[in-house]
Amino acid sequence: MDIFSELREQVASLDGLLGEGADDLTHTMRCLPDEQLVRVIEAAALAARCLGRVEAVGAGVLAERSAHGAGQGGLAQVHGHRSPADFVQAITGTSKSDARQRIRVGQSVLDASEPANTDPAAPDAPARPAVPAWHAPLAGALMRGRVSSAQSDAIRRGLGEPPADRSGCVDDDVREAWSAAAQQLADEAGRRTVEELRDEARLIRDRLDPEGAERRYLERHEARTFRTWTDADGRCRGSISFDDDGHALIRSIFDSALRPRRGGPRFVDAAEAEAAKALAEDPRSIDQLSYDLFVDLLRVGAFADAKVVHGTRRAGVRVVTVVDASGGHTEDGLVSLPQEDIDRRICDTGTVAVTVDAGGDPLNVGRERRLFTPAQRVALSVRDGGCRWHGCDRPSSYCEAHHIDPYSEGGRTDIDRGILLCRFHHMQLHHSGWRISRDGKSAFMLHDPGGGAVTLEPRLALRYAFGDVDPPPRRFRPAA
């Protein structure tokens, strides 16, 4: 069915549902029975989707005719607009971001329907068959009305562009993999929200391109920021840009604390039920509860006793990985993580072996292993005094226990083979080709990617206090 036939069908449906009452739309729709109201909204949405295709392709062509090379003679410029997005915004009355989305979707459809290639040096020669764009299935789904403009844009942006080689060429197998992913996501569109499609597309992209996933992960880590300021009205404000690791932890903590207000599980014990009831009846808003929880976390972290911090299991994020596969994802949120980050997490929190069938159903759950015990962490804290990376002053409470011998290669969870590293340097070790070695009980050696090595000296204050004796004097041992 072509666009206008489908549009006429939906308009006729709306006419039949609303009839003469369309003149007083507010009163008429308030009086509609539930089922009829739903049918009106569905018909209106389908009609809007039809017109959306026309609008998006038109915006794409408008952008073509307003290209930078056209100068003041471009279509948008002739009409007094600085850019195609400004012109589309003025025509449609939408926001700038919506105008840009329409242009992106329109250009995507145009790119997917490019004519056969011609040789500029020989314009009269027969045209070569065009190579279908990898996102052609997505453009086709849009033009057939199977996905909306917003869904198409979410999938396309989530998948990104297939990785190219150094010459800028994309391998045929890579292009086919991205094209298959676009097709699969388009098939899912009828059952997924825009947000779900976007997140799934990103996860698939990272599975298809693990090297790119690692690069993007590190870029987000480098872009992390936190700042506070006071506005003109005297309100103290803040802004945070999380990396993946930090956001996963924060999300886990806040979800756990606020879940009863967000529709958490009903089948809990009496104590949990009472706490959930109290939280549900709390007069504070979710945002106020979140703020108070955040401040409480900072307060506890600032004043917590070190023995309490090291003697209890810390909050963590569960990660799902597949044997013999690179990378993994968080259990909550399905956030893709590179293998190096997973290795770092395993160093510090251990694993749970899960056997599944072909459908992903668990068959057997093994025991947790390879953890440094609370007592061992206390011993590491006493011995190392904090992060052992040269030049780092992070205290023990900010550190993670690292196995210098990979557990998968026979490494032991022993004090002699463990070392404290702060989160930043633990990540540096796993992501950037550094390693730590130790011959027996001699000094720990830090090896850089270039082949150099430096001794990780213990803190001078500890060497002085212990008098270079092993084990340390009784006054420096943790209380029983």
pLDDT in tens, 3-37: 888 889 999 999 888 887 667 888 889 989 999 99
For residue 123, whether the previous peptide bond is cis, meaning omega lies within 30 degrees of 0, is no
Kindly state the average pLDDT of the residues 406-434: 78
Three-state DSSP state, 14: helix
What pLDDT sits at residue 464?
41
How far is CA 36 from each of CA 32, 41, 45, 53, rounded to the nearest angstrom? 6, 9, 14, 26
Kindly state the average pLDDT of the residues 47-66: 93
Contacts 24+ apart (CB under 8 A), 123-129: none
Q: Look up the pTM and report it.
A: 0.65
Kindly state the average pLDDT of the residues 201-210: 87
Closest by Cα among 95, 74, 93, 94 to 83? 74
Q: How far apart are CA 109 and CA 59, in angstroms?
A: 11
> Can you give the C-alpha Rg of the chain in angstroms?
29
Per the model's pLDDT, the better-predicted residue between 110 and 297 turns out to be 110
Per the model's pLDDT, the better-predicted residue between 315 and 167 turns out to be 167
The torsion of the CA quartet 72, 75, 77, 82, rounded to 10 degrees, works out to: -130
What pLDDT sits at residue 339?
80
The answer for 160, left when phi > 0, alpha when psi is -120 to 50, beta otherwise, is: left
Distance, CA of 246 to chain centre: 11
DSSP character at residue 103: H
303 has a pLDDT exceeding 90? no
Three-state DSSP state, 402: strand
Per the model's pLDDT, the better-predicted residue between 182 and 265 turns out to be 182
How far is CA 15 from each of CA 6, 18, 39, 193, rounded to the nearest angstrom? 14, 5, 12, 28
**92 pLDDT band (50/70/90 cuts)?**
very high
The answer for 234, left when phi > 0, alpha when psi is -120 to 50, beta otherwise, is: left
What pLDDT sits at residue 362?
44
DSSP character at residue 396: G
315 has a pLDDT exceeding 80? no
374 has a pLDDT exceeding 70? no
Q: The tokens of 5 are what?
A: 């036939």
What pLDDT sits at residue 116?
46
Kindly state the average pLDDT of the residues 180-198: 87
**301 pLDDT band (50/70/90 cuts)?**
confident
Q: How far apart are CA 175 and CA 131, in angstroms?
A: 10
Kindly state the average pLDDT of the residues 213-225: 92
Phi and psi at residue 354, to the nearest 5°: -125, 125
Kindly state the average pLDDT of the residues 455-474: 53
**468 pLDDT band (50/70/90 cuts)?**
very low
Kindly state the average pLDDT of the residues 300-318: 53
Apex 451 CA angle, 448 and 455, nearest 5: 55
Per the model's pLDDT, the better-predicted residue between 213 and 382 turns out to be 213
354 has a pLDDT exceeding 50? yes
Which of 29-38, 183-192, 399-408 has the largest mean confidence?
29-38
Q: How far apart are CA 262 and CA 257, in angstroms?
A: 10
219 has a pLDDT exceeding 90? yes
294 has a pLDDT exceeding 50? yes
Q: How far apart are CA 216 and CA 214, in angstroms?
A: 6
Neighbours of 210 (CB within 10 A): 15
What pLDDT sits at residue 84?
94
HEC per residue, 139-202: HHHHHCCCCCHHHHHHHHHHHCCCCCCCCCCCCHHHHHHHHHHHHHHHHHHHHCCHHHHHHHHH
312 has a pLDDT exceeding 60? no
Apex 432 CA angle, 325 and 158, nearest 5: 55
Kindly state the average pLDDT of the residues 350-360: 52
**54 pLDDT band (50/70/90 cuts)?**
very high
Which of 186-190, 217-221, 287-291 has the largest mean confidence?
217-221
Q: How far apart are CA 256 and CA 251, in angstroms?
A: 8
Give tens-digit pLDDT for 116-154: 454 555 555 555 445 678 999 999 999 988 999 999 999
Provide the sign of the torsion angle of the four alpha carbons 395, 397, 398, 401, taken in this order: positive
Kindly state the average pLDDT of the residues 309-325: 55
What pLDDT sits at residue 89?
94
**60 pLDDT band (50/70/90 cuts)?**
very high
What pLDDT sits at residue 325?
64
Tokens 């997505």 belong to which residue?
138
Which of 330-334, 343-347, 355-359 has the largest mean confidence?
343-347
The torsion of the CA quartet 332, 336, 338, 342, rounded to 10 degrees, works out to: 10
**47 pLDDT band (50/70/90 cuts)?**
very high
Q: What is the mean pLDDT of the chain?
A: 78
